[in-house]
Amino acid sequence: FIIRDNFLGNEQDFNLILSEVKSLRDEGLLKKAGMSQGSEQWTDDKIRGDYILWVNRKEKIQYKSPNLCRLLEKIEEFKDDLNRACNFDCRKTQIQVACYPGGGSRYVRHYDAWSGGSSRRLTCLYYLNLGWKKSDGGCLRLYLDGMGIDGTFDVEPVADRLIIFQSRRLEHEVLAVNVERYSVTSWFY
């Protein structure tokens, strides 16, 4: 996994993105996240407590969230760099805006892709949590055994931090969140 702090490097930029994401939440565009297996779908707060918005077409939110779209363009540029430099050959991305409302909401241990399921290869998580402190909760716990290492590693969800990891190899969970926690996730296929 890779952690990159100061991804945008400009506090004004991520303040504007956070404001736009909160506006999307206030408009009711973020919906209760669910889970699925085959054609079956369900929700369960004990397993997953976030609210999400799938951003499959940037044009749909461009007029409401131009700063969020600039972040997505920067992540897309990173994907293009991977394609050129590493023959990554990523032709599809999936983007999700998420808000954990606090009150102990979490997402239990899971992979972002699994054998016979999603063909996601890389997960890119960008955090928007200004002034985050340990008591806020919501760390991303990485289970390193998928990388041949014993133990765990907790990533603090601080503003302007990007973490990238292999979707099939790194099991992870969002620990209990005590205050609102915001992120933007891109998956590279």
Q: pLDDT for 113-148, tens place per residue? A: 977 667 999 999 999 999 999 999 999 999 998 777
**Mean model confidence pLDDT for the chain:** 92
pLDDT of the residue at 56: 73
* Sheet of strand 2-5: strand arrangement: 2-5, 161-166, 122-127, 181-188, 93-100, 51-54, 31-32
Specify the pTM.
Answer: 0.93
Other Cβ atoms within 10 Å of 1 Cβ, number:
17
Q: How confident is the model at residue 184 (pLDDT cuts 50, 70, 90)?
A: very high
Q: CB of 177 within 8 A of CB of 100? A: yes
